[in-house]
Structure 1
Amino acid sequence: MTTPPATIPTEPVPTATTAPEATGSSPTLWGHIALALTWLDAANPRTDHETAMRLMKVSEECGEAVAAYIGMTGQNPRKGFTHTLDDLSGELCDVAISALVALATLTGDAHTAETHLTAHLSRRYPRLVTLLENAHV
């Protein structure tokens, strides 16, 4: 077995099980990601293979979203209308969740992933504002 690169944490970061997300109250996005990461790390410790599988899960979920869209629009005449907007919305949520779990796997934990995402959004935001101003909306 090869040693993972130093930039990919191989040890899960402990997460409190007394968080509101663990006790059944309404979860926050990042609380949910932290719990999912803790559960995945317990079931499948972080190895090169597991990291790759978590990245591939994002593509799998994208495929499910595409299938739901095809089913919602009835694009496949053999199958007809098989999905609803709610089905598609759920699949898109699964895409976002799997992407954030993959990000948290690569960065070490949900808090660090949130920090990375916030920094990324901060870098992109000025350009988006400029594009919107130039669009004359």
Structure 2
Amino acid sequence: MSEDPTKAIDAVEAVEAAEGTGAPDRPETPVIPDALDPWDTVTRLHAWLTAHQTLPPGQEVLLRVLKLSEEVGETAQAVIGATGQNPRKGHSHTWQDVEAELCDVIITAMVALRTLTPAAPEVFATHLHRVAERSLAKPESGAD
């Protein structure tokens, strides 16, 4: 790819800088150009990570999947903090923190899928279509 991989880092930093700006009453977040083609950004993030990887390719895939578990755990921690369920810590997070952590989960999953296959956009689109057809299908007439 001819684009500079540091653009992906700039996009991530822009998203991180926007974190914590409020929930339903916050001003609308401006659309970052990379958000219009997330798979392009994911491909650049994948290339950047791969360039800095020192492990064999098989371990790279496993560790990217493990990273997903880490991000899900951080999301759970943010929900616990946003609801104040840890009496020792109280309300240690906001719902905007939860939003940011969920975005990290999505990005990490997309990068893991891209690590597994260069056809990640097509694999995801096909799977999303199957899930939508199965889940959003009209109920049969006469069903209770």
TM-score range, shorter chain: 0.7 to 0.9
Deviating more after overlay: 87-96 vs 37-46 = 37-46
**1:45-84 alignment, distance < 5 Å:** 47-84=57-94
Uncovered stretches (5+) of structure 1, i.e. residues with no partner? 1-14
Query: Runs of at least 4 residues of structure 1 off by over 2 A?
Result: 21-26
SS, match of residue 78 in structure 2: helix
Matched residue pairs, number?
116
Corresponding residue to 2:33 among 18, 23, 26: 26
Is 1:118 paired with 2:128?
no
Corresponding residue to 2:106 among 96, 100, 106: 96
After superposition, the CA RMSD in angstroms is 2.4
Note closer, same or farther for the CA distance 1:79–1:125 as it changes in structure 2 (3 Å cut): same
> TM-score scaled by structure 2?
0.72
Deviation at 1:122, TM superposition (A): 1.7
> TM-score scaled by structure 1?
0.75
Uncovered stretches (5+) of structure 2, i.e. residues with no partner? 12-31
Corresponding residue to 2:50 among 18, 28, 41: 41
Aligned-pair identity (%): 39
Deviation at 1:18, TM superposition (A): 5.4
1:17 maps to what in 2? Answer: 3
Deviation at 1:129, TM superposition (A): 1.6
Counterpart AA for 1:16:
S
Counterpart AA for 2:116:
L
